[in-house]
Structure 1
């Protein structure tokens, strides 16, 4: 899989599929682009861009803090380097938070927003857990993961989401312990005309565990073909 230097780091990515429109898939924390390998073929008629987020997989990182805005700028630079002016942005978990930040910061690049099991804010209890993980990663000598955990310990995008004009679909399971459906309800209320589906009995890995979520996403994506 190729690399390109964009926003000051080597970004590891893969382009596949055929179609006039591109879907960008953003993975969750501690994951890598291969997490999408059985999912992207289910979205026929589109090009698929998957990549390793800064500090994860095989993409590079720099010492010091990162933030959702850093990761959003990375994606902007990656799309620019690959000659992709605009895309449908899909994200899972942390990747969904990056997708939201990207849509707020770079609205001209977003045709649609597809969110799997994510949130627009972090509450005190979750923030405390992420900060504890950051300390553990730091103690283990993993500065990149420590910075990542700190980045997801504190964000709130509710106000910014009110400016989103791109069509948006939010998918979540009602048994998701990491991003409970209440967070998706908040996002749906903030984003004008957002569509929300909550799937009973489904946990955090909704795009892998609930085929109906892929069917729903494909139906929604038909408007872009």
Structure 2
């Protein structure tokens, strides 16, 4: 693990691989850390792969209060600056996907491709805002244990909790290790997030929308919403997975991710529009 001091906080991150292609930046969800990307931290992609801990999580500094999606996105941009990276492929899951959408809203010229995994674009409802703030209060009051055990069967499909005990244990460890102050600050920030629907039609880079078939937090309908509004986006539904298909079905997730990376590597024509996905990307099949 390496560290970088950016925007007044120290971020921990992993940095593997090399190559001339645009680096891949992996953005974790809540309440996890960069460890959720273990199956994607591969040195064989022909590019650098960078997985940071967001502020408030993992090895990064904990900042209590409210952490907006814009703050997370600007931290990532500052990390890329620190690493001398101007253009990157951004892959985010759940909250990470919303951070990626915010990054694209702020800095579209720095995005070479998008992966939006198990996430959604719509703004928060009044009820959702209350629930997120109530959950933040609970985490500060009780810690992570009760919440983590309650949602494990939603993060990982119940069948996979039994069939993939190492994966389930890894997911539970990450949730239990999340600092309550950082997790609560992120929840309060997400309660105030904007609606990204209006930005989707302006995406001009290859985009993969991927979702676990059995995801109850962000169901397939949320992925279809994104897919229908992003020009030329590709939709991949991962069978036998819930909210964390990258961990539950890593081979299928990586196959879809590799298709997106192939499209980006096709060059400026592909970057000019997702409809220009290469033949290699078109060979990716739904699983």
TM-score in same-fold range (> 0.5): yes
1:97-116 to 2 correspondence within 5 Å?
97-116=98-117
Q: Does 2:196 match 1:157?
A: yes
Which residue among 214, 220, 236 is the counterpart of 1:197? 236
For structure 1, which runs of at least 5 residues remain unmatched after alignment? Answer: none
Q: What's the TM-score, normalizing by structure 1?
A: 0.92
The yes-or-no answer on 1:44 pairing with 2:45 is: yes
Identify which of 174, 181, 188 aligns with 2:213. 174
Distance 2:38 2:237 in 1: 24
Which range moved further: 177-186 or 198-207? 198-207
> 2:12 aligned with 1:12, yes or no?
yes
> Which is helix-richer, 1 or 2?
2
Conserved? CA contact 1:92–1:117, under 8 Å: yes
Shift of 1:42: 7.6
Residue ranges of structure 2 left out of the alignment (5+ in a row): 144-179, 266-287
Indicate whether 1:222 and 2:262 are aligned.
Answer: yes
RMSD (Å) for aligned C-alpha atoms: 1.9
Q: Which residue of 2 aligns with 1:147?
A: 185
Distance in structure 1 (CA, Å) of the matches to 2:23 and 2:235: 22
Whose strand fraction is larger, Structure 1's or Structure 2's? 1
Alignment deviations for residues 105-126 of structure 1 (CA, whole Å, 9 cap, x no partner): 1111100001211111244554
C-alpha distance after superposition, 1:117-155 (max 9, x if no partner):
111124455444322211112324843222111122343
- 1:189 and 1:174 map into 2 onto residues whose CA distance is 17
Is the contact between residue 3 and residue 10 of structure 2 (CA under 8 Å) also seen in structure 1? yes
CA apart distance, 1:84: 0.6
